[in-house]
Amino acid sequence: MKQFIEYSNEVQHAMYRNIPIVALESTIISHGMPYPQNVETAKHCEQIIRDHGCVPATIAILNGKLKIGLSNEELDYLGKTGLKITKTSRRDIAYNVANKIDGATTVSATMFISALAGISVFATGGIGGVHRGAESTMDISADLEELAETNVIVVSAGAKSILDIGLTLEYLETKGVEVIGYQTDMLPAFYSRESDFKVNFRIDTAREIASVFQVKQALKLRGGMLIANPVPEKFSMKKEVIDEAINNAIIEMEELGIKGKETTPYLLGKVVELTKGKSLETNIELVYNNCKVASLISKQLISL
């Protein structure tokens, strides 16, 4: 395994000293935001994690290695190269490593690599899920299957609101994945604090989340936990505003014939355009908030 994994000095030091670690994905850098905001956001996410007493481990595939912890130069490379970097799901990991294809990891790939490295907490923006119209296209994100299989706590602002949130919840229920609302009874819808759906359980403290995860592992219940953490109220968008932007973006996407893994980056970019940048500001702030909560959980997990 050592021939495939490369840790940053900071992450390696944290592992030796039992310092809590929070994993971060890299697709949000290459495919989620424009340059230079993507790199600025990534660096600020890492700093938030450090400020809360943890070590950030941004994950990517570079030069045939599973990189766990990136340098500033590597973050900048991902940000500047942008969409030319291969978006890498679990399915793509072995091929990309074998062929030394640089890859930005999605939620599923980041979860898999985090678990491989023994990192139990991962902060992201929003998970992938069941796409609208999936009853005919079968377009369902690998993120959901990874949550069913891999023992990692994923802190997100819910499922991306461009998805079919109801069907996403049904899929997670079928797979036995707990959807836990952090200080909320309602599942947040990424850009908005509110949706039409409730979480399975509400938990108000990071310590209790860590305790539930520890019990789950002790009982050998396979799979991760999804922590639904609403965007701070001051940055939350009105549900009707964001729904209109998403519906218009979907109509244009269908007219252009965009399908598969290109749909999410296209829709997110189009929504930014239609909301005159407001959705990007919300996206950035919700990621920051998830980094904070993930850090609190990671610290509690290591102290139990």
The active-site residue, picked from 10, 25, 74, 178, is: 25
pLDDT tens digits, one per residue of 166-211: 999 999 999 999 999 999 999 998 889 988 899 999 999 999 999 9
> What's 105-158 look like in SS3?
ECHHHHHHHHHHHCCCEEECCCECCEECCHHHHCCECHHHHHHHHCCCEEEECC
Cα–Cα distance between 288 and 295 in angstroms, integer?
11
> Please, which pLDDT band fits residue 51 given cuts at 50, 70 and 90?
very high
Mean pLDDT of 57-68: 97
The active-site residue, picked from 160, 270, 292, 299, is: 160
Catalytic-residue membership of 160: yes
Catalytic-residue membership of 198: no
Q: By C-alpha distance, which of 190, 193, 196 is closest to 280?
A: 190
Mean pLDDT of 60-76: 97
Q: Is the model's pTM score more than 0.85?
A: yes
For residue 239, is pLDDT > 90? no
Instruction: Go through the domains of the chain in sequence order and give each one's CATH number.
Output: 5-303 (3.40.1790.10)
pLDDT tens digits, one per residue of 258-278: 876 677 778 778 888 888 888
**Averaged pLDDT score across all residues of the chain:** 93
211 Cβ contact list (under 8 Å, min separation 6) = 300, 304
Least confident residue range of 131-140, 143-152, 285-294: 131-140
| pLDDT for residue 261 | 66
Cα–Cα distance between 67 and 78 in angstroms, integer?
13
Q: By C-alpha distance, which of 134, 110, 125 is closest to 230?
A: 125
